Structure 1
């Protein structure tokens, strides 16, 4: 597995689910609900930005911005919150350090996304800012809502949730975005993530569409 795969839906969605179960088992019901809403809203925003480009070619040429990076957003939103929750019983300064460490890790992954040209700097930067903002909202809410308790049952249930969601293969969500974009836009082919995005992608016979879409999926 490549380092950047840490931000893949196959890893971060199960991790986010494990965080939610940790909070639920710790009887932090409201905090768990808030986390689920924050994460779902962020995923929805990333998906909408990708659908806008794939189906309608909406992007900002001057910034090289086509869509938000799912890898960057998920790591920036999930990793800081994960470390913050795991350090829930530690002093406040250690929780903040855990959050900062998560942000640092997400920035490092974002740099790799740019280095290997999976995304442009503008796409990664915007995604990291939104991800960290989502995490900070959770931290602010945690200061006003009951904190979760941790025990062996909490750890066990969280791990079971992680592996259960992994078995469901949430990574297939990425492959459905192209189909959704084509359905609502009425196009035969999506706009390409590589060069030539300002022109319609060449139309091909439907028998070849499945093969052509492989190179048109979002890089993450």
Structure 2
């Protein structure tokens, strides 16, 4: 079962999610300018809030000890800010297909978020908070007119290949290491706060 959780967790890695989403964003037709702007904003908000919560705990110990909350789960927040929209885009303009695509994206994001608990990467409160943040961002991005058409097979393939590039070429670089380095730089601490 550990392999299943690890595989799901890998699908929530920002090194995979952000390049994939960027390709889909850049290739949306000009008529989808509103959706592009909302989705880009949603991803930025999810990423910034998650990063700020992690820095606040690592650098200054700001969290909720009774809930084992030390910051939003990045995997939960980012996957739920990306996959619901990917599902809607890939489903195409037909309403029923869009609902199926949306639900598929949400369920994948929930599975990725849950995988962080058995892997002992996050507490349940951190996962729930991350999901709430990301799904809220997705819901905001999806308001308004539905996408007029689905991405081409070439675009979808390019998005997958872009997502695979960083994890395959830089497998030893983890976003968590970068967050730790940033927390030390900003807080001026050599020893950071950690889960107790």
Whole-angstrom CA distance in 2 between matches of 1:8 and 1:126? 17
After superposition, the Cα gap between the structure-2 partners of 1:165 and 1:113, relative to the gap in structure 1 and judged at 3 Å, is closer
Matched, 1:100 2:98: no
User: Structure 1 CA distance, aligned partners of 2:25 and 2:174?
Assistant: 21
After the TM superposition, which residues 40-79 of structure 1 pair with which residues of structure 2 at under 5 Å, given as runs? Answer: 40-79=44-83
User: Contact (CA 8 Å) 2:91, 2:100: kept in 1 or not?
Assistant: no
Corresponding position: 1:137 with 2:156 = no
Partner of 1:198: none
Partner of 1:177: 179
Change (3 A) 1:160 1:51: same
Deviation (angstroms), 1:164 = 4.1
State the partner residue of 2:24: 19
Q: State the TM-score, normalizing by the size of structure 1.
A: 0.75
| Bigger Rg, structure 1 or 2 | 1
Q: CA RMSD in A?
A: 2.3
Which consecutive unaligned segments of at least 5 residues does structure 2 have?
A: 1-5
Quick one: distance in 2 between partners of 1:65 and 1:151?
A: 38
Q: Give, in angstroms, the shift of residue 104 of structure 1.
A: 1.5
- Cα deviation, 1:193-214, whole Å, max 9, x if unaligned, reads 3x2xxxxxxxxxxxxxxxxxxx
1:6 aligned partner: 11
Which residue of the other structure, out of 118, 122, 126, is the alignment partner of 1:123? 126
Give unpaired runs (5+ residues) of structure 1. Answer: 196-220
Superposition deviation, residue 48 in structure 1: 0.5
Aligned-pair distance for 1:172?
4.9
User: Which shifted more, 164-173 or 12-21?
Assistant: 164-173
Summarize the Cα distance change of 1:83–1:27 in structure 2 as closer, same or farther, 3 Å threshold: same
Distance 2:163 2:181 in 1: 23
| TM-score when normalising by structure 2 | 0.83
Q: Matches of 1:106 and 1:184 in 2, distance apart?
A: 31
User: How many correspondences in the alignment?
Assistant: 187
